[in-house]
Structure 1
Amino acid sequence: MINTRPRLAWHRARLLTIGVAVWAAAAALLTPVAASAAVDNPAPTPLVSFTFDDGMQNALTQAAPTLKKYGLTGTSYVNTSCVGMTTVPNTCRASTDVPYMTWDQITQLQNTYGWEIGSHTVNHLCLVSVGDDCQATKLTAAQVDAELANSKATLAAHGFNATAFAPPYGDYDMSVLAQIAKYYSSMRGFADTGNNPWPLGDYLIRNIPVQERTTPVATLKARVDEAITNKTWAVFTFHDIRPSPSQNPDDYQYGTAELDQLAAYVQSKVAAGQIKNVNISKGLVNGSPNLLANPTFNNGIGDGWRTDAPSTITADIGNTGSFPDSARSVKMVSGSAAGHLFSPKVPVTAGTNYLFKSFLNVAAISSGEVGFYVDEYNAAGQWISGQFRKRENTRWVESMNFTYTPSSTSVASASLQVYVTGTGITAYLDNVQMLALAAGSTPPASVNLVTNGAFDAGISSGWTTDSASTIQADGANRGSPANPVNSVKLTATTATRHLFSPQVAVTPGTYKIASYLNITARTSGEMGFYIDEYNAAGQWISGQWKLGVSAAGVTNVDLTYSPSTSSVAKASLQVIVQGNSGLQAYFDDVRWTKS
């Protein structure tokens, strides 16, 4: 039945079923590897890290002995220009009234106490901002590069292979982050607070800043408990550790006794097998072997990599990539049609989970997205299915980490597909990895609960409409980028009309609903999305309005839905075309999954 109340909701998904023809000259397949490959953190696991900024001497005299007392270690992010300033006052920009470690003391911190040594730049300058705690003049790109490169080189000259980085004051933007990624494998923020969900984002490690006045021990213990409950990574950030800390939050001090209480609590959880203490670089998901050939594109788009858009997807030698080899990457520019980059095919095993990691720098974007999809092939090399995994539709620099599990036992090999669609997009891809994880180490790929979400069977399989003349199946290649053939065309009339999904059985909990929407015409009004809720007898009992979309062009929207009451047994998605709006749109690739 059609409910006459206002109904709107929105969502996004993408079952990118691009039936790419079998490659005529496919690269030789790699030999399958054991699922027990050497991978750090191959599954969601509670982790906790202690990090200390600036290289202050009390990291060695106060923090390290306290942590060692409980069998714990930490990571020290060092300002190289301040090393050796052992008297106060001094000229270190981080703080002039604190003594800093010598190189020998930093070596002791690493070799005796097992700490990781990371970079915190040379001079503790703001990399983007000016004023307040920052310098008066904005750094140039060359000056930023010098802060990053010279810090790393100085640390290396003293025996420290620094791959972890933390920007002073947590000050960065996307251009700076792209520079950071050339020299370091991770970046820990400061203003970016919260715990980190697996499989993490290497270039935005969130943290919990710790200060005596604002973060009592009970609050930090709660963060540890949260990590245990949700299998996330809690990263604590300290500065000045003192027996008698200041109560002024601007001093960024913390008490040795309070650190002792927190460390004792963490140790009790470690001893119980509930959480693991790691230094920053050991908290990342890393490992070997990489199943993909030519991951840093030093051989260009070769060794089995290929593209269907050679004019807009090209090998780049402009040092636009990422650690550990930033010299070469792949440049992806939006064109008149979607362009795709395809990896070599890799043999996969049903029941084994895999992790894809890649560096992505979306340097410019007006509309659209850069997306990641996995194509699946049978033993004969024929394309049989695929899975949309992730996308970026904003200006951002990141490590795109996501898991993949073969859809069925029929899948014998898989390849990564990276696509670009939209306008004004310039992006760089580098350091692409595919790691085999232990069988069953991650949840299988979520099952799509709604049938015919790609509309390959038209408006059928439970999909219905109250306006067959204006809401119609369309087969003219106007759907989502990688499976564009079939979609639903929605055209406004004088009355409001609707498209209804099949009813989906639901239970208490959270669901994700996703879809592709392209509004090609509009004079007023909006395209609406709404969730209808039904009882066990299939009777409509309630509903949830979510959102309306009025912006022209492609919108990839995400919707979160939870049943309103325990009486809700089924739910369906309703797409609303507002009357007298002049709207025309194409709707495709609906995915409804349980979180």
Structure 2
Amino acid sequence: MRTFFDLKEREIAVKKQPLLLIAFLILSYFLGYLTYRRLHGESVIRLQAKLTFTFDDNYGSHYSLALPVLKEKGVSATVYVISDHVGANGQIDWGQLLELQNVHGWEVGSQSRTHKDLTKVDLETLMDEVEGSKKLLASHGLFVRSFAAPYGALNATVRAYAAKCYSSVRGVGGFNSLNVDPCSLLAMTIESDTKVETVEGWIDEAISGNKWLILLFHEIIRGVPKSRYQYSLAGLRAIVDYAVKKKIKIVNVSEGIELVKSNLIQNFSFESRADGWPDGWARSDQKAVALDLAGMGCAPYPTASVKFTVGPQAGELISNKVAVNPRLSYSGRVFVNMVNYSSGGLSLWINEYNIGGRYLGGQHAGSISGERVGFLILFVYKPSSERVVMVDLQIYSEPGSFFKAYVDNIEFGESLG
């Protein structure tokens, strides 16, 4: 015998059937659409929120306590090292750093030689702290690409010198967009009174807002923290567990800054050159646009860059043509060190061509102005039509511009999903 509750459940189930049918049709359409796009060679871009664990200041507990917690969950991290303090007074030592890198897949970055506030030192000291640290770390077999400013203190001068040696520069104070300038990374600092629930909220915000969250830890201890920059092992474990549970993509810093599958631009850092000009590049005016070998570029090859010295005469720099798929999405970025600024700016235009090489038009991809340094032009590009099969990149000064700018490390390729 059916009860009243049986009948009500049946009534509810019947009412739900049209809704279930609609949901099924929507899901079927969506899956079919994705299949169609894959079969026709079109990429489906899925920008993923990211999370990075970083550890500063050489504490031995990074190896003895943090490593086992992250290793248990298959998570790696970036540890930033004060190179002249390695192995001193119980701090992390060279053997442990090599093990983190070579066995456990951690990234080792630099935090300068002696942890000075680099915004308050002279240029000679700045260069020694930034370059000397990388050389010392490299001499011990460490592959170092990332830099963290001591105390999070950064200005344009520090950023410019750090960019010559490292692929990323990290400060403190917030979230990052997914296409962040690698020379302007930010981290959220974990202090002794930072609640696990607060960090869980940050992770949720990164996921919902498609952001990159970099967490900055200092000393990890068992028990209750007694000073500002200590954090409990139990708290770290809870944060790692929550991140894994939420299935956010966890990367080290160098993995996080990757933008494209492969760079399509030949001679992207102007290292190959003949007769005083980089191979594969064209320019409008030799006075306004010239090769510079004074080390004003960025890592990995900072020696060569292209210098714009613009005033009444505008300047243009044009890349080689590269093949594109009109069904794919592309990303790119350009390092710019702009100085002696008075007016105007630099812009990037993407010229589009058909299979016969005929010019079809193009798209404006970005522009900058003011005295700044970093990967300042970041862009996403989708070909304008099915006829577009080739493009080149054109960097040019705007009319009425007065400034000097060094351009380097021009990157363009299929977007990472």
Secondary structure class of the residue paired with 1:375:
strand
Q: CA deviation at 1:122?
A: 0.5
Partner of 2:388: 411
1:425-464 equivalences in 2 (<5 Å): 425-437=403-415
Q: Which amino acid aligns with 2:410?
A: V
How far off its partner does 1:35 sit?
A: 7.6
CA contact (8 A) 2:259 2:331 kept: no
The residue number in structure 1 matching 2:295 is 319
* Aligned-partner Cα distance in 2 for 1:342–1:309: 12
SS in structure 2 at match of 1:425: strand
* Displacement after TM superposition at 1:427 (Å): 0.7
Partner of 2:282 in structure 1?
Answer: 306
1:35–1:437 CA contact under 8 A, matched in 2: no
- Partners of 2:55 and 2:219 lie apart in 1 by 8
- 2:383, 2:254 → 1: CA distance? 29
Identity within the alignment, %: 33
Distance 2:82 2:336 in 1: 28
**Aligned equivalents of 1:349 and 1:357: distance in 2?**
19
For 2:14, the equivalent position in structure 1 comes to none
User: Counterpart of 1:349 in 2: which secondary structure?
Assistant: coil
* Structure 1: runs of 5+ lacking an equivalent: 1-33, 87-98, 130-138, 442-595
Per-residue deviation, 1:350: 0.7
Q: CA deviation at 1:36?
A: 10
RMSD across aligned C-alpha pairs, in angstroms? 2.2
> Hey, what's the Cα distance between the residues in 2 that align with 1:416 and 1:387?
10
Tell me the distance in 1 between the aligned counterparts of 2:174 and 2:47. 16
Give, in angstroms, the shift of residue 288 of structure 1: 5.2
Following superposition, which runs of at least 4 residues in structure 1 exceed 6 angstroms of deviation?
34-37
Match of residue 146 from structure 1: 128
Q: 1:235 aligns with which of 201, 207, 214?
A: 214
Deviations 1:410-431 (A, max 9, x none): 2121111111234441111111
Aligned twin of 1:263: 240
What residue is the counterpart of 2:8 in the other structure? Answer: none
2:187 counterpart SS class = strand
Distance 1:146 1:177 in 2: 14
Question: 2:337 pairs with 361, 367, 371, which one?
Answer: 361
CA deviation digits over 1:275-306, x for unaligned, max 9? 11111111112455422122111215443311
Give, as a single letter, the amino acid of the residue that structure 1 aligns with 2:189: P
Q: How does 1:554-573 map to 2 (within 5 A)?
A: none
Partner amino acid for 1:410?
R
8 A Cα contact 1:245 1:255, kept in partner: yes
Q: CA deviation at 1:264?
A: 0.9
Shift of 1:226: 1.4
Q: Identify the structure with the greater strand proportion.
A: 1
The amino acid that maps onto 2:357 is: G
Which residue of the partner structure matches residue 105 of structure 1? 96
Look up the equivalent residue of 2:301 and give its one-letter code: D
Which one of 40, 53, 59 corresponds to residue 50 of structure 1?
Answer: 53
Aligned to 2:355: 379
Are 2:182 and 1:202 aligned? yes
Task: Give SS of 1:362's match.
Answer: strand
Aligned to 2:254: 281
The letter for the 1-side match of 2:82 is: N
* Contact 1:44-1:232 within 8 A present in 2 as well: no
Describe how 1:75-154 pairs up with structure 2 within 5 A. Answer: 75-86=78-89, 99-129=90-120, 139-154=121-136
**Equivalents in 1 of 2:174, 2:158: separation in Å?**
22
The residue aligned with 1:135 is none
Contact residue 36 and residue 437 of structure 1 kept, 8 A: no
- Shift in Å at residue 154 of structure 1? 1.0
The answer for the alignment partner of 2:5 in structure 1 is: none
Q: SS in structure 2 opposite 1:237?
A: strand
Give the CA deviation at 1:384. 1.8
Structure 1 residue 379: deviation in Å?
2.6
Q: Is the CA contact (8 Å cut-off) linking 2:179 and 2:259 kept in structure 1?
A: no
Could you tell me which amino acid in structure 1 is paired with residue 330 of structure 2? Y
Letter of the aligned partner of 1:370 in structure 2?
A: L
User: Does structure 2 retain, via aligned residues, the 8 Å contact 1:200–1:285?
Assistant: no
TM-score by length of 1: 0.60
* Distance verdict in 2 for CA 1:165–1:384, change over 3 Å: same
Contact 1:47–1:234 (CA<8 Å) still a contact in 2? yes
- Contact 1:43/1:198, CA 8 A, preserved across alignment: no
Aligned length, in residue pairs: 373
Where relative contact order (Cα < 8 A, 6+ residues apart) is larger, the structure is: 1
Q: Which residue of 1 aligns with 2:270?
A: 297
Corresponding residue number in structure 1 for 2:25: none
The answer for the alignment partner of 1:21 in structure 2 is: none
- Which secondary structure state, in structure 2, belongs to the residue aligned with residue 72 of structure 1? coil
TM-score by length of 2: 0.84
Letter in structure 2 aligned against 1:368: G
Amino acid at match of 1:209: T
Structure-2 separation of matches of 1:195 and 1:74: 17
Distance 2:224 2:183 in 1: 32
Distance across 1 between alignment mates of 2:324 and 2:94: 47
| 1:245 Cα deviation after fit | 4.5
Partner of 1:70: 73
Q: Find the partner of 1:391 among 348, 362, 367.
A: 367
Q: Which amino acid aligns with 1:219?
A: T
User: Superposition pairs for residues 489-504 of structure 1, below 5 Å?
Assistant: none
